[in-house]
Amino acid sequence: MDQGGRGVEQPSEVDVVIVGAGFAGLYMLHRCRQRGLTARVVEAGDDVGGTWYWNRYPGARCDVESLEYSYGFDDALQQEWEWTERYAGQPEILRYLQHVAERFDLRRDITFGARVTAAVLDEATGTWTVSLDPGGAVTASFVVMATGCLSSANVPDLPGAASFTGPTYHTGRWPHEGVDFTGQRVGVIGTGSSAVQSIPLIAEQAAHLTVFQRTPTYTVPAWNGPLDPAEQAAVKADYAGLRAANRAMFSAFGGRIPRRDQAARDATEEELDAEYERRWALGGLPFLAAFNDLLLDPVANETARRFVIGKLREIVHDPTVADRLTPDHVIGCKRLCVDSGYWATFNRPNVTLVDLRETPIETLTPTGIRTTAADHDLDAIVYATGFDAMTGALSRIDVRGRGGQPLGEAWAAGPRTYLGLMTHGFPNLFLVTGPGSPSVLANMIEAIQQHVEWIDRCLGDLAADGLQQIDADADAQDAWVDHVNGVAGATLFPTCSSWYLGANVPGKTRVFMPLAGFPPYVEVCEQVVADGYRGFRRR
């Protein structure tokens, strides 16, 4: 039996195996312990942190304000922790999670440096055997997949990739010692959130930066800066109030800047401009809550789109570059970016924008990237190409449920879950923020807490009722998948090729994976329990 740390020595039998030591895994472990269950977390990294352990690229920062992107389950914790910036950077969030691990003495039940390779159900005993790399296995009555929604790096298979002789990096797997680009010619592939955050800083350091853009992105300013101590004190004076206000929000954050209860379609030009200007000045994702129909009505959406493009054209001096940076899809359809100087970076003399829609990549060469128009000589390449989102981390594990069925087979036509919490045929295997739950469309920390608390209560109720097993009903699951698709279909989300749909990974089935709307989802989860776990089979 070990005391945490690297290696695979651990109790070979526990009540609950938890996969991943990010926000979800840490809290799940804490709740299991409080319930008197034995639990073991298995974590591939060498420390806690999950997303915030791996994503160390320059500028990595959360796009939900630090006072809201934090645990609310323990008042002493939220009172004692002092955030220093409006939007916390990766190092600060990692320090916070390390503090949580120490404060609740979590490390002794975490095995670091071990990747879960398989989770196989033994139907005779009703237990799961979880296999680890570099070796060993743990059996458990329950498995909780706290594997994160954006944890499996997507590295496109570009022609000639192996021939490039310089170093390559993926933003989601950044070297812990950092990277010094001073004097180098750097290429960044991708223009999503990770690129938008890292590009301004790489441009400041590199001799030359070439950005390879396939789809232009919308971004709104963060206006990040030191957090005003008076604001922090005011929030802490009624932290419960802010948490409750957030949980009542569609996306479970921004409770201090509520969505305006007016349709853009019904607003005058003056009202539109005034509200968009106000929200632009506030900064951040609440921009999309300026009106209540922005993600429902293309006409309404176009008003927000026009406003943001107007800002882009004010910021970027060269009209041709501004044209290339102008997106034409619905704003908010892909995750809106929140930036610190992204568009202005393209005014720098040492930055070049390559539009891959005009001139696609032909091949990587030993010395750089060749497009149909030119050879771009590079010393280093950064893949800011995102993640195999929501299902990627799970599909890398050989999960086998009833009858030895692989999860990959059950999900061949896209992920199928009930409430995003369980999938039929895989009893006692829980997902935290799984597909079919609000997850990435919500403040992840609120979504995680709600799931962990639901799972914890479910385990308690099973024991209290003298039962051992819970599984999702096939019918309830089918109805839930229809519901998730129906909700998405009523929005503008499915209108572009986003990672929400799996469209960024070649060959991945296109299904809209998250469920829009946190409060109605929580209501359903509560009602399901009140109805005696309706839609689940317990025995």
Footprint of ligand N01 (CB under 6 A): 61-63, 150, 156, 171, 189-195, 197, 214-215, 335, 338, 356, 384-387, 440, 499, 504
Of residues 334 and 424, the one with the C-beta less far from ligand N01: 334
- Nearest alpha carbon to residue 113 among 198, 32, 53, 64: 53
Measured distance between the N- and C-terminal CA atoms of the chain, rounded to whole angstroms: 32
For the CB of residue 91, give the shortest distance to ligand N01 in the complex, in Å: 14
Q: Which is nearer to ligand N01, 30 or 279 (CB)?
A: 279
54 vs 128 by CB, closer to ligand N01: 54
Provide the 3-class DSSP secondary structure of residue 429. Answer: strand
Closer Cβ to ligand N01, 127 or 504, answer by number: 504
Nearest distance from C-beta of residue 408 to ligand N01, angstroms: 22
Q: Which of residues 142 and 493 has its CB atom nearest to ligand N01 in the complex?
A: 493
Tell me which residue has tokens 């010619």: 185
Residue 427 or 494 having the CB closest to ligand N01: 494
C-beta closer to ligand N01: residue 140 or 309: 309
Compute the C-alpha angle 387/393/394, nearest 5°. Answer: 140
Contact by Cβ (8 Å): 333, 496: yes
> Cβ-count burial of 86 within 10 angstroms (0-12 exposed, 13-18 middle, 19+ buried)?
buried
CB of 502 to ligand N01, least distance (A): 11
Supply the minimum distance, in Å, between the C-beta of residue 338 and ligand N01.
Answer: 5
- In Å, how far are 197, 270, 329, 386 from 311, measured between CA atoms? 18, 17, 17, 26
Residue 216 or 517: which CB sits closer to ligand N01?
Answer: 216
Are 111 and 7 in contact by the 8 Å Cβ rule? The answer is: yes
Residue nearest to ligand N01 (CB): 192
Reduce the DSSP state of residue 21 to 3 states and report it: coil
Name the minimum Å distance from CB 500 to ligand N01.
Answer: 9
- Tell me the closest approach of the beta carbon of residue 497 to ligand N01, in angstroms: 6
C-alpha dist (Å) from residue 299 to 140, 266, 267, 269, 492: 52, 11, 12, 13, 11
Quick one: angle between helices 239-247 and 229-237, nearest 10? 80
- Which CB atom, from 138 or from 199, has the smaller least distance to ligand N01? 199
Nearer to ligand N01, 442 or 528 (CB): 442
> Closest distance between ligand N01 and the C-beta of residue 160, in Å?
13
Smallest distance from ligand N01 to CB 382, Å:
11
Contact 1, 9 (CB under 8 A): yes
Question: How buried is residue 223: exposed, middle or buried, by Cβ count under 10 Å (0-12/13-18/19+)?
Answer: middle
Q: How many CA atoms lie within 13 A of 445 on its CB side?
A: 20
Nearest C-alpha neighbor of 89 from the set 119, 125, 51, 62:
62
From residue 171, alpha-carbon distances to 153, 176, 196, 360 in Å are 9, 11, 11, 22
Q: Show Cβ contacts of residue 102 under 8 Å, excluding neighbours closer than 6 positions.
A: none
Is residue 417 classed exposed, middle or buried when 0-12, 13-18 and 19+ CB atoms within 10 A define those classes? buried
Q: How far is the CB of 162 from ligand N01 (least distance, A)?
A: 15
* Minimum distance from residue 221 beta carbon to ligand N01 (Å): 12
Residue closer to ligand N01 (CB basis): 215 or 449: 215
Least distance CB 384 / ligand N01 (angstroms):
6
CB nearer ligand N01, residue 30 or residue 335: 335
> H or E stretch including 302?
helix 298-315
Distance of closest approach, residue 182 Cβ to ligand N01, in angstroms? 24
Which long-range contacts does 286-290 make (Cβ < 8 Å, 24+ apart)? 286/254, 286/257, 286/259, 287/220, 287/336, 288/331, 288/332, 288/336, 289/250, 289/251, 289/254, 289/257, 289/258, 289/259, 289/260, 290/260, 290/264
In the complex with ligand N01, the residue whose CB is nearer, 91 or 134, is 91
CB of 273 to ligand N01, least distance (A): 27
For the CB of residue 524, give the shortest distance to ligand N01 in the complex, in Å.
24
Name the residue with tokens 């789109």: 305
Nearer residue to ligand N01 within complex by CB, 81 or 383: 383
